[in-house]
């Protein structure tokens, strides 16, 4: 690895940007515009921050500066560092700019929109596995190294993410929540069994009559979310698990209510009539029904006969 101070031209930047395939972090227009304003105002200064390329010639840092130079057709003097190891990408701006989705895109080569769903799902799954309460599953920040381990622990193909994104749009449900529910369910059930639920929600649920849990899940999401795709991932993963349990066990469900947070309710003492503040705990996250050979055919019909083939 070595660095040098050189003139960086729009042409050089264009060449670097063509080789940016290893860096799948999308350009943020606000950052590009910020650098354009700096350039046009004559405020750009040569510092230790500039551009970095790995040993394949891929630009792994400085893409916003490069885009700004191309768009303003300006040349600057800047530090350029060469021959970095490709995995250095994970350490650059890791605590400031890059999101979990950015790192997952780099690891899996997924499209950014799909890696954002996957990265958010991995955070929830990791917090669940760590024993945190469901109210804290979306908190915290994962490093690139942690995400690499989690991708190996919970591998999800991009095709699966795409299918769940599509189902989420049909139901106005969270694709992240559906991905979390799918991974939790398939910890104990084969994928083709989980597909009996996930493949048949959304538009496909119209073929069902009565109180089939797949139709109930779809209708509940549509009614509750009122035409907007919800981002309430943890809640909707729980609701999907409840519906899956009902599907496998042949139970009937009315509506799929959200889990309640902990709180305090006011009740009246029956003897004195005095108001009493009574604390109550948060609802528990549902467990997936255990894998068993006794599966009800109430909703599945003939499908139940092939569950264990």
- Measured CA to CA, the distance from residue 166 to residue 22 in angstroms comes to 27
Q: So what's the pLDDT on residue 98? A: 67
How much is the pLDDT for 93? 56
User: What local confidence, expressed as pLDDT, does residue 285 receive?
Assistant: 96
Q: What percent of the chain has pLDDT over 90?
A: 52
pLDDT tier, 95 (very low <50, low <70, confident <90, very high otherwise): very low
Residues across the chain: 309
**pLDDT 10s digits, 110-132:** 998 999 999 999 999 999 999 99
> In this predicted structure, what is the pLDDT of residue 305?
55
What pLDDT does 96 receive?
A: 45
pLDDT digits (tens, 9 = 90+) for 23-59: 666 777 888 988 998 899 888 889 888 999 988 888 8
Task: Give CA–CA dist 167/174, Å, rounded.
Answer: 9
Structure tokens that stand for 276 in this block: 């009493």
Contact between 53 and 81 (Cβ < 8 Å)? yes
In whole angstroms, what is the distance from residue 54 CA to residue 210 CA?
Answer: 59
Model pLDDT, residue 301: 82
Q: 0.75 exceeded by the pTM?
A: no
Model pLDDT for residues 267-304, shown as the tens digit of each residue: 777 788 788 777 778 899 999 999 876 788 889 886 66
- The model's pLDDT over 142-164, given as tens digits with 9 standing for 90+, comes to 888 899 999 999 999 999 999 99
pLDDT number for residue 190 = 92
Do 248 and 291 touch, CB atoms closer than 8 A? no
- As a 3-state breakdown, the chain gives helix, strand, coil percent values, each rounded to 5, of 50, 10, 40
Q: How far apart are CA 33 and CA 160, in angstroms?
A: 36
pLDDT given for residue 69 in this prediction: 95
Mean pLDDT to the nearest integer, 66-90: 89
User: What confidence tens digit (pLDDT) does each residue in 174-229 have?
Assistant: 999 999 999 999 999 999 999 999 999 999 998 887 789 999 999 999 988 887 77
Rounded CA gap, 191 and 165, in Å?
A: 17
Distance CA 294, CA 227 (A): 38
């Amino acid at each position: 690895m070595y660095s040098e101070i050189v003139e960086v031209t729009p042409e050089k930047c264009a060449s670097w940007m063509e080789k940016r395939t290893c860096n799948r972090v999308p350009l943020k227009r606000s950052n590009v515009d910020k650098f354009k304003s700096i350039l046009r105002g004559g405020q750009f200064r040569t510092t230790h921050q500039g551009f970095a390329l790995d040993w394949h010639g891929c630009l792994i840092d400085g893409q916003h500066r490069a885009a700004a130079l191309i768009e303003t057709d300006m040349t600057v003097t800047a530090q350029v560092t060469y021959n970095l190891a490709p995995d250095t990408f994970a350490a650059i701006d890791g605590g400031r700019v890059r999101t979990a989705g950015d790192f997952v895109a780099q690891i899996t080569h997924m499209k950014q929109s799909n890696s954002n769903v996957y990265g958010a799902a991995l955070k929830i799954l990791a917090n669940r596995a760590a024993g945190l309460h469901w109210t804290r599953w979306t908190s915290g920040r994962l490093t690139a190294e942690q995400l690499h381990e989690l991708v190996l622990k919970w591998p999800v193909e991009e095709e699966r993410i795409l299918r769940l994104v599509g189902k989420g749009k049909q139901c106005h449900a969270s694709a992240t929540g559906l991905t979390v529910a799918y991974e939790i369910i398939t910890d104990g059930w084969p994928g083709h069994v989980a597909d009996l639920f996930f493949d048949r929600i959304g538009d496909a649920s119209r073929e069902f009559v009565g109180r089939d849990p797949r139709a109930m899940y779809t209708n509940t999401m549509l009614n509750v979310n009122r035409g907007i795709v919800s981002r309430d991932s943890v809640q909707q993963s729980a609701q999907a698990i409840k519906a899956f349990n009902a599907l496998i066990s042949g139970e009937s469900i009315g509506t799929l209510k959200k889990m309640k947070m902990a709180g305090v309710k006011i009740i009246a003492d029956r003897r004195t009539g005095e108001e009493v503040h009574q604390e109550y705990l948060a609802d528990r996250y549902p467990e997936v029904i255990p894998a068993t050979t006794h599966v009800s055919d109430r909703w599945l019909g003939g499908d139940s006969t092939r569950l264990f083939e």
